[in-house]
Amino acid sequence: MRLTIDEVRHVAELAKLRLSEAELALYAEQLSAILDHAESLQQVDTSQVAPTPYVLPLYNVMADDAPAPSLDNAVALANAPDKADGFFRVRAVFEE
Amino acid sequence: MSKALYALTIHEALAGMRRGAFSAVELTQALLERIAQTDSQVKAYLTLTAELALEQAAAADARRAAGDDAPLLGIPMAIKDVLCTAGVRTTCGSRILENFTPPYTATAVRRLAEAGMVMLGKTNTDEFAMGSSTENSGYFTTHNPWDLERVPGGSSGGSGAAVAAQEALAALGTDTGGSVRLPAAYCGVVGLKPSYGRVSRYGLVAYGSSLDQVGVLAKDVRDAALILSVMAGHDDHDSTSMPAPVPDYAAALTGDVRGLRIGLPDEYFIAGVQPDVEAAVRQAINLLGEMGAEIVRVSLPNTEKALPVYYLVATAEASANLSRFDGVRYGFSAGAGSILENYRESRGQGFGAEVKRRIMLGTYVLSAGYYDAYYLKAQQVRTLIKQDFEAAFGQVDVIACPVAPTTAFRIGEKANDPLAMYLSDVFTITPNLAGMCGASVPCGFDAGGLPIGLQLMGPPLGEEVVLRTAHAYEQATTWHTHWAQPVAVGA
């Protein structure tokens, strides 16, 4: 398994990470080595095996739909890098 | 009293305060002085909350004077900096959260605080708990109190080092693939990772949501049992917390292992294990046999698949969890151009190398065309690993093995080889994958004087039998009475 720089660049875009050319090259090498190690899983016959995404036998945990106190607006915004009028301020999503 | 106050266990300190030998304020001051003396070398703490600790200690003394005897009243502890603490900076060891002050407190921490805990500060960790050495902290590396040139293990390395250096009576850590048990072993203290769902994850900044669990680093098994009794149990804020009743774990510490069946898994005694680690662990298991436990060989045939399963599952979950760091609601924002540019720049600059590596790997294994080959496959093999343990726990009560293949390695030794670093966790990840509990108990020292940990694994909700075994072994040996001397005390 050898990831190309372009494949790594594509993954970085999916993950919304800006990486330098040096990081792209390093991760291409390191991720390839890690994925090689994971190749051993392909030898295991799992045709009759259900996946385990979660270990607990808990399903559809329900809670009452009841109002309860929550964070005050100012407290919820206290860590915001940018805010205005009681809201998080974000950059334009659609360009004009 | 012959021991210094900072050197007490929790149960010794509670006994002292109950008979009025010293106050919580005096105890807290003793710990703060100890930290002032040793932490410039050990570097266990990211944030010290000395003033708050003294206020909490005074409040604890007032509660005791009013007749209160809450289970942790006046006990100074440290909290790993991935657990949210309202009003106290919580960084997760990451520069992206350098200025983040949570608006709420994690349930595990809140329950300790209500039981009277005094919080001394927040401890260092690999960034977002991703690592085995604390070298991935965005701030500094914590040093092993037994040898300052070596790592304390990770990711709860600050918590392990704080307890080992006697800079806290105990500490909370978190464990996704061994992050409580590994630092406990490397630092020569007791580490307990409860079963998945035993302790609420509310307020624990998520790494691998199906694996993460809050755990304890303590000076002895009794202290670990006391803390677990306080923080375990269902929480409405975490739908994956188990609704099972919480026993009095201290009551399980009978000192008796007669009739217990202890499993010895062949697959955990393999080439590559440091010979004095293997010898110490085998000797510990033999002692448990002499004490009346029955030692039974068990087989866990899918063991060697656990490491790749772990780093596919954990990184996939991490890539989704860490998508919340977008430079909009909290955390570092690069303030760059368009909204997409600001995502890329904030995340590219804010995360460290290992976090980016894991986000990349997780994003790749979840991406179109690779999901079935990697992520689904890993979850299927996870089922086989879980079935191995279900079969083994049909034959035995507890499984005993090493915590890690080696003792603490040198700072820098594995920093440029992520796979070699991941291999430190090869014996600790299976309990996380299978939802089991596990503990690390000191069981000797290697030729260089570094501590060795015995790992005891139990089935889901098997904390009582794990603690009972660990306690019986501990009380039959003297390893827990040896303490590191990180600096010349009083020099």
Give the phi and the psi of residue A4 in degrees, each rounded to 5: -85, 165
Q: How far apart are CA B78 and CA B57, in angstroms?
A: 14
Q: B345 and A18: CB-CB below 8 Å?
A: yes
The answer, yes or no, to whether residue A62 has pLDDT greater than 60, is: yes
The pLDDT, as a whole number, for residue A71 is 92
| Residue B155 annotated among the catalytic residues of the structure | yes
Q: Which of A34, A51, A92 sits opposite B380 (nearest CB)?
A: A51
Q: pTM, whole model, 2 decimals?
A: 0.97
- CB of B314 within 8 A of CB of B177? yes
| Residue for token pair 């019986």 | B472
Q: How confident is the model at residue A35 (pLDDT cuts 50, 70, 90)?
A: very high
Q: How far apart are CA B214 and CA B80, in angstroms?
A: 10
Q: CA nearest B473: which of B280, B187, B217?
A: B280
Average the pLDDT over B232-238 and give the result: 95
- CB of B230 within 8 A of CB of B199? no
B218-232 per-position pLDDT tens digit: 999 999 999 999 999
List % helix, strand, coil for chain B (3-state, nearest 5): 45, 15, 40
The pLDDT, as a whole number, for residue A60 is 81
| Residue B80 annotated among the catalytic residues of the structure | yes
B173-199 per-position pLDDT tens digit: 999 999 999 999 999 999 999 999 999
Q: B210 and A53: CB-CB below 8 Å?
A: yes
Q: How far is A48 from chain B (nearest CA, A)?
A: 9
Q: Which of B309, B343, B349 sits opposite A41 (nearest CB)?
A: B309
Question: Which domains, from first to last, does chain B contain?
Answer: 5-301+386-481 (3.90.1300.10)
Q: CA nearest B164: which of B151, B178, B174?
A: B151
The answer, yes or no, to whether residue B490 has pLDDT greater than 50, is: no
- CB of A83 within 8 A of CB of A75? no
Give the phi and the psi of residue B89 in degrees, each rounded to 5: -45, 135
Q: How far is B100 from chain A (nearest CA, A)?
A: 6
| Partners of B437 in the β-ladder | B458
Q: Widest CA span of chain B, in angstroms?
A: 69
B380-404 per-position pLDDT tens digit: 999 999 999 999 999 999 999 999 9
Residue B463 three-state SS? helix
Complex-level ipTM: 0.95
The answer, yes or no, to whether residue B23 has pLDDT greater than 80, is: yes
Question: Which domains, from first to last, does chain A contain?
Answer: 5-41 (1.10.20.60)
Q: B384 and A46: CB-CB below 8 Å?
A: yes
Q: B359 and A17: CB-CB below 8 Å?
A: yes
- CB of B144 within 8 A of CB of B187? yes
Residue B118 three-state SS? strand
Residue B124 three-state SS? coil
What strand order describes the sheet that includes B451-458? B45-48, B118-123, B76-80, B170-175, B213-218, B190-193, B437-445, B451-458, B398-402, B261-265, B294-298
Chain B residue with minimum CA distance to A32: B361
The pLDDT, as a whole number, for residue A96 is 61
Annotated catalytic residue, options B23, B43, B80, B159: B80
Displacement of CA B320 from its chain's centroid (Å): 23
Contact residues, chain A, for B319 at CB < 8 Å: 15
Residue type, A78: A
- Orientation of helix B463-476 relative to helix B275-290, angle to 10°: 100
Annotated catalytic residue, options B23, B94, B133, B179: B179
Average the pLDDT over B125-130 and give the result: 98
Q: Rounded mean pLDDT of chain B?
A: 96
Q: A38 and B308: CB-CB below 8 Å?
A: yes
The verdict on A74 touching B (C-beta cutoff 8 Å) is no
The pLDDT, as a whole number, for residue A61 is 80
B201-216 per-position pLDDT tens digit: 999 999 999 999 999 9
Average the pLDDT over A34-59 and give the result: 92
Distances (CA, A) of B172 to B40, B117, B147, B228, B307: 21, 12, 22, 10, 25
B398-431 per-position pLDDT tens digit: 999 999 999 999 999 998 888 888 889 999 999 9
Q: How confident is the model at residue A2 (pLDDT cuts 50, 70, 90)?
A: confident
